Structures are given as C-alpha cells and as structure tokens.
Chains A and B, each alone.
Chain A
Amino acid sequence: MSSAVKFLSIRKGLLEFLLLKIISADKVYVADILGRLEGTEFETQEGTLYPLLSRMRRENLVDYEWQESEAGPPRKYYRLTASGRTQLGELNDYWRQINRTVPELERKVP
C-alpha cells in the first residue's frame, strides 16, 4: 500500500481543519476551495465538500451569503464565524502539540 493510501484517513480527518484555515484567510466560493487544494495532497471533490461544509454550517463554524456572479446563477460565498475562529484557534494549538509529540516518538527512550 502506498503512503498516500495509508494516510487516507488522516487526510480525510484533517480536511475540516484545513477548510477552516482556507476560509479564515479570505471569503471564498466552493470552487476557490477546490482550486486551492488542487494539486496538493489534500485535493478533494464536490461530493466530499458539499456535505462537509453543510455540516460545518450547521455547527455554526462557517456561514455563507449568496453572491451574484457575472456568468450564471448566484453562488455561495463562505466566511468564518466567530465560533469558527475560536475552533480554528483550538485546532491550531492542538496541531502544534501533535507536531511536538510525533517527532518525540522516534527518539530512543533513555
């Protein structure tokens, strides 16, 4: 099994965290999110994003407004909510913590 496949569940698990990061940087359309992740290890698809974003919105981490676009129907424009920012902060802390623990485990125990 390749490393990409072994890390599959990790990548799936991190997706929500990454979405919070992306949306915190700037207000985005769903297409922008997909474009941002395209070519990276976390490349994903509409089938994954729509249900996930919908759940994040139910949990009040993100919110959207309808934006008229030049070509075609109005689109959802996502932004982070206050509790979304708090959640992102917590997740960032946890992420830093993990990044300290993981290299530690390779060291020999004295």
Chain B
Amino acid sequence: MNKVTTVNLNGRAFQVEEQAYEFLRAYLDEAARLLADDPDRREIRADLEQAIGDKGAHYLRAGRNVLGETEMTRILEEMGPVETGADAEPARQRAEAKAEAPSPRRLYLVKEGEMIAGVCNGIAAYFGIDPTVVRLVFVILLFLSGGLVALAYLVLMFVVPEARTAEERAAARGLPFNAQELVDQAKRHYAGLKDSTQRWRDRRRRDKERAFWRASERHDYEGPHTRPFDRPQPGYGAQVAAGIALPLIGVISAALTVAGIVIAVSLLATGEVFGWRLPIDVPAWVAILGLVAVYAIVTVPLRAVRYASYEALGPRRSWFVFWDGVLWIALVVLGWWLVATYVPGVSALFQDLFHHWRDIRFDIAALVGVR
C-alpha cells in the first residue's frame, strides 16, 4: 500500500502513487527546463500534460483508480524526452552538451536522506560511496580530533552550496544528465530508502520547497506541479564564494564598528585618540560626524560585496540574511568584550566618558541653541 497524490494534468485530476508522482515531476521539471527559452512553453507544457493525461486515462479504463510506478514509467517512456527543434539552438545545445560531455563532479550538500545538513551525504555522493560509511568515518574522526571535526562540518555547512535543481543533483554525483537518467535516479533513490523517517523528512522538505516556490513565483508560473525556472541559477563558484564572503564581511564590519565606537568614545571623553589630539578649534561633534562619514565611506565596498553575495545565494537567501545579522551582532558584542578586557585604557575611557558627560551635554545644548 502506498500513499497517493492527486495531480491536475491540464484540467483533469488523476490519482498517482508516490513514486509515480516523483517520476512525473522529474519529467515535467525537465520539460520546463528545456523549454525555458521557447515562446510557446506554456502551450507546449499544457499539451504534454494533456497527452500524459490521455495515456493515463487509457490505463485507468481497465478498472483501476490509481496510476502506479509501472504505468507512469511506461507513459513517460512513450512520451519521450522533450526535443526542442533544430532552430532552438541554445536549449538543444545545452541538452546535447549535457548528454555527451562528462558532467562536472562537484561537492554539493545533498539534502535527500540528510541527517543534519547533508554534508556527509554530499561527500558520499561526490566519491560515490555509501553515505553511512561517510557518517561512520565522520563520527570516528570526531572522537579522534576531540571535536575539531565538528568545526570543519560547520564550515562546510555554510560554504558548500545545496544541490537544488535536478542539474545540480546530477553534478553532485558526477552523473551525465538527461531525462532518462533522472527517472532512473528517482527509481534508485526510492529503492534505497528504507527509513520511513527519511521519507517523511523528504516529503516535508518537498512541501516546504513547493510552498516557497509558489510564494516567490512570478507571472510566468503555470501548472500546479511544475517549478518555475525564471531566475538564472547562480553558479557553483558564486555560491561557494558567497558562503565564504559573508562571514568574513561580518567579521570585518563588526571590527570596524567596534573600532569606530572606541574612537568616538575616546574623542568625546578625552578629546584625543591614541595620543593624537584634536586641533583646538575643531569641536568634538565635528570629529564625530567626520568619523561617521569615514565609516560610511569605508563600508561602501563591504556592503557592495555583501549584497552581491546575497544575490548569489538564491533561495537559501532569507535563512542566510537572518543568521548573517545575528552573527554580526554577536561579533560586535564579542569584539567589544575583547577590546574592553584586553586593550589597556578602554575601560578607563568609559569612566572618563561618564565623568565628562556633563560637559558633553553642555556642548550639545550649546550646539542646539538651548540655554
């Protein structure tokens, strides 16, 4: 007994088994990808769904309610891979190049059947070995290294991009990529899944992904169970670079912020910074403004790199942005504590600041024009 999903194929409802649904989705996703540049893509996809529905209805006539794995495989093999015509060069060249050239093998986080973040899974896929073996080795290393390996795991979690599209998933395993391979892969994946918890996790993740894509869809989206491919997929290198760049940017900007605060406090409290004294006729508030201006200018390139990194992240973005903010706050607090404890004189500065607070208040009042 298997779970059943209802799909809408160009207006007709069909009950399909779980595995059959996965094959169908793989087929339609691939069709959407191949037809991305075709001006008639909506119509063609509707036609394809219609044809699949016709064939499905044919199988259902023999007194069955549900399309199973065997029927769906036969239907999709009858349909054949979507061939973009001789004139549609870019799409066809892409598909042919993929089918002929050996697919690049890249390290990705593989989220199907993941335990924590898909790191061990991704490593296993890259080397083509059993993920359980990788996890075992990881645990052994964890004990041997006294926990240092966990740090490496964290780094990998951030830096290695997740294999999201079918194309990336193929590259994660170094497999040549075409529609048939996808169907076979789905078959192998389901045969290998023994753990029902993993299956549940996969389904939950799929539902979450589907909800996310629906929410972020643009007007081009059509068909309930196909994914939109409007946004160009950020490249592997770009994603890795973004994963490395963002924490670094966080550290640098937090350090700058802490330094800025220290300088500001120093100026306010004593009118001098590390021995450099303000010229007599320059009031403290001008110096502060100047400091803010310098900070703003210096952080412009930082901010540019940060936003470019956000762009390169793709759908993982909101997760990353949130944690990036948290990381920055944590770094500022940490930096402040380090400076206050280890740099001589900083806490003294703060004492000075409190003592001079009255003077500073008078300065500000005089500035504003209040007596």
Contact = CB atoms under 8 A, between A and B. Distances in A.
Interface stretch (A49-57, A82-90, A91-99, A100-108): A49-57
Interface stretch (B84-92, B188-196, B210-218, B332-340): B84-92
Interface in B200-229: none
B83 A51 contact: yes
Interface residues of A, number: 19
A51 to B, nearest CB: 5
A55 B44 CA distance: 10
A47 B83 contact: yes
A45 B31 CA distance: 14
SS of B interface (majority): loop
A30 to B, nearest CB: 8
B38 interface: yes
A16 to B, nearest CB: 8
Nearest to A44: B80
Given A72-B54, A73-B50, A47 B79 contact: yes
A1 to B, nearest CB: 15
Interface of B: 10-12, 31, 35, 38-40, 43-44, 47-48, 50-51, 54, 57, 78-88
Interface of A: 12-13, 16, 30, 44-48, 50-52, 54-55, 57-58, 72-73, 76
Given A50-B48, A72-B57, 8 more contacts: A13-B86, A16-B85, A30-B51, A46-B51, A46-B78, A51-B85, A51-B88, A55-B38
8 contacts: A16-B85, A47-B31, A47-B79, A48-B82, A51-B82, A51-B88, A55-B87, A73-B50
